[in-house]
């Protein structure tokens, strides 16, 4: 009877380990593990992805968590000399997140590239992937994950994250160990 109880406790302890994020990737060259939401589509041709890294394979609290918000911009035959005019977020320096009755502004990094995604090329043709990235601390990320709805302001564009579109952030936040 004592062995069954000990075995049961071991199984319960094993099952109650930290949850796993949607994507885990280990880079042996850098000896770094990345936990991420993967790409999460929110509406139309837009979405986000959140990620953090830690050294080795043993989960540790991250110093920084990155969230990148992105959108696909169709070129409609425009050439590289016209790319800047097609982008919506060229001059955006801040991403605003509204949740829990308050608005929080974060410095943003803008980037774009020509999409190499085979599905995009097949169905939409030539397109640009535009993104705005922000960096957060673990407590800031947990605050966002605790919200039921997050309004994301990207220049003149607004996205609402709730329900299924917010679930990957909640799942990733549940993986972050207490620091």
Query: Measured between alpha carbons, how far is residue 101 from residues 68, 104, 150 in Å?
Result: 23, 10, 10
Task: Report the predicted TM-score, pTM, of the whole model to 2 decimal places.
Answer: 0.84
pLDDT at 7: 40
- The answer to whether residue 165 sits within a structural domain is yes
Domain span at residue 158 reads 2-174
Which helix (H) or strand (E) covers residue 138, if one does? helix 138-146
Q: What is the pLDDT of residue 126?
A: 87
Task: Give alpha helix (H) positions in 36-103.
Answer: 83-86
Contact call for residues 125 and 109 (beta carbons, < 8 A):
no
For residues 150 and 69, give the distance between their C-alpha atoms in angstroms, rounded to a whole number: 13
70: β partners:
47, 131
**pLDDT one digit per residue (tens) for the chain, 179 residues:** 444 434 444 344 444 455 667 799 999 999 999 999 999 988 878 999 999 999 999 999 999 999 999 999 999 888 899 999 999 999 999 999 999 999 999 999 999 999 999 988 888 888 999 999 999 999 999 999 999 999 999 999 999 999 999 999 999 999 999 86
Is 179 inside any structural domain?
no
Total count of domains within the chain:
1
Q: Taking the CA atoms of 75, 40, 169 and 153 in sequence, report the sign of the dihedral they define.
A: positive
């Amino acid at each position: 009877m004592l062995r069954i109880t000990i075995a049961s406790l071991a199984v319960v302890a094993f099952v109650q380990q930290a949850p796993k994020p949607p994507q885990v990737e280990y880079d042996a060259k850098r000896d770094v593990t990345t936990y991420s939401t993967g790409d999460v589509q929110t509406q139309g041709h837009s979405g986000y992805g959140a990620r953090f890294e830690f050294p080795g394979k043993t989960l540790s609290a991250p110093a920084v968590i990155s969230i990148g918000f992105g959108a696909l911009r169709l070129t409609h035959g425009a050439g590289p000399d016209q790319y800047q005019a097609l982008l919506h977020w060229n001059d955006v320096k801040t991403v605003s997140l509204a949740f829990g009755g308050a608005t929080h502004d974060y410095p943003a990094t803008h980037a774009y590239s020509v999409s190499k995604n085979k599905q995009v090329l097949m169905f939409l043709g030539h397109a640009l992937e535009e993104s705005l990235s922000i960096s957060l601390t673990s407590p800031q990320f947990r605050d966002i994950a605790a919200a039921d709805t997050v309004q994301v302001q990207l220049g003149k564009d607004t996205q609402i994250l709730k329900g299924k579109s917010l679930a990957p952030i909640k799942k990733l936040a549940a993986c972050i160990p207490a620091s």
